[in-house]
Amino acid sequence: MTPPVALPRLPAAARPLVAFAAVLRANGFAVAPEQTVLFLSAVQLLGPRSIEDVRKAAVATIGPPFERRDTFDALFDTHFLGAVGEPGADDEWQPDDEMKVEEEGAGQEILIGEEVHETGREATSAEALAVRQLQPPDDSGTLRRFVRDLPDALPRRRGYRHRRARRGSGFDLAASLKAAIRNDGEVMALKRWRRSTRVRPVLLLIDVSGSMKQRTDANLALAHALVQGAPRVEVFTFGTRLTRLTTALKRRNRTRALAIAADLVADWDGGTRIGDALETFLAVPRFAGYARGAVVLILSDGLERGDPAAMIRAVRHLAARAHRIDWLSPLATGQDYRPETEGLAAIRPFITSLTNGATTAAICHHVLSIGRERAA
């Protein structure tokens, strides 16, 4: 009989992380062993700088259902923070000493580290956790025309299925034989087929940091219109963390969809760590698959305060998967615009275009022109 193989002992730092996956499974969450390994890898990738980085890694890799997110957060707080309460309850916990809590009216904002810039023009690496109510400007006419023209304007790719065609690239033998039977075995004409086409998927990444606060509401309204008008769209926001909003934006009522999206995002108007967010996106196989062959639209000013090497590396890997990357910046309002940051200047060879993203009309016009450029 072969003696049992001794398994390596887990490091002390990894034991609480593995135990959290067991806690989730005990409470009805479907957590595969591969997701536990991804969770450990994501925590290692993020640092982590705080317990919220661990929470971000858990949400990104384990992917709790939207309807059970409160239970997930309660289990996380109970396991890592020692919070007392039943899963799903509104547990409260005291912030660390370095966290600064400010109250304005009914809202509450937790600031970590240095002060957040309120001008909307400067980037910071600080993280702000806040609740925000989205109030998009009245661009109903522009968005209505955008949704109407979008299905025919998106770029397409060849699919794997075939359809009949008068002048196809191949012969449909089955259809030709059926036609011959109807003509007493005489082959009057050979039927042809050609490969069908499919609309390319769209991946929309929206910067919600403090330097983009003047465009955040309008960009989220545009994201809702894009999800409603195109068949395959994925929407993520990033600032100091990564948040998937696709499910929330699938609701047809824009006001309700944006209200749900506002509750999901926690890093409104905070710092800018584009490289870390994109690397977290690529580290999750399910998320990275959304970029394969897709049209990637990034709505950001590119004012990265983190390591520019991480941003350059992430964009290079993203470009290897995507069909094209279009970076729409509110600062690129003229033909003579030149990137102001080291990271944005370095990624210029990996992106298809760096164009104007200052208005909803300009973004809609660019998205609608992508398919026409390809056809031309």
Domain range summary for the chain, segments of one domain joined by +: 15-81, 140-150+200-375, 158-198
Amino acid at 208: V
CA distance 225 to 213: 20
CATH classification code of 140-150+200-375: 3.40.50.410
At residue 315, the pLDDT reads 95
Q: Is the bond preceding 4 in cis, omega lying within 30 degrees of 0?
A: no
Q: With 90 as the cut, is the pLDDT of residue 327 above it?
A: yes
For the segment 152-172, what is each residue's pLDDT rounded down to a tens digit? 888 887 766 666 767 766 777
At residue 288, the pLDDT reads 93
Give which of 365, 353, 349, 356 is closest to 334, Cα–Cα. 356
At residue 373, the pLDDT reads 66
CA distance 204 to 363: 12
At residue 133, the pLDDT reads 66
303 is written with which tokens?
């004012």
Q: With 90 as the cut, is the pLDDT of residue 3 above it?
A: no
Q: Per mean pLDDT, which range of 9-23, 114-128, 262-276 is the poorest?
A: 114-128
| Predicted TM-score (pTM) above 0.85 | no
In this prediction, residues 254-266 reach a mean pLDDT of 90
CA distance 225 to 146: 8
Q: With 60 as the cut, is the pLDDT of residue 123 above it?
A: no
Residue 84 binned pLDDT confidence (cut-offs 50, 70, 90): very low
At residue 127, the pLDDT reads 55
Give strand pairing partners of 101.
110
In this predicted model, which residue has the larger pLDDT, 357 or 90? 357
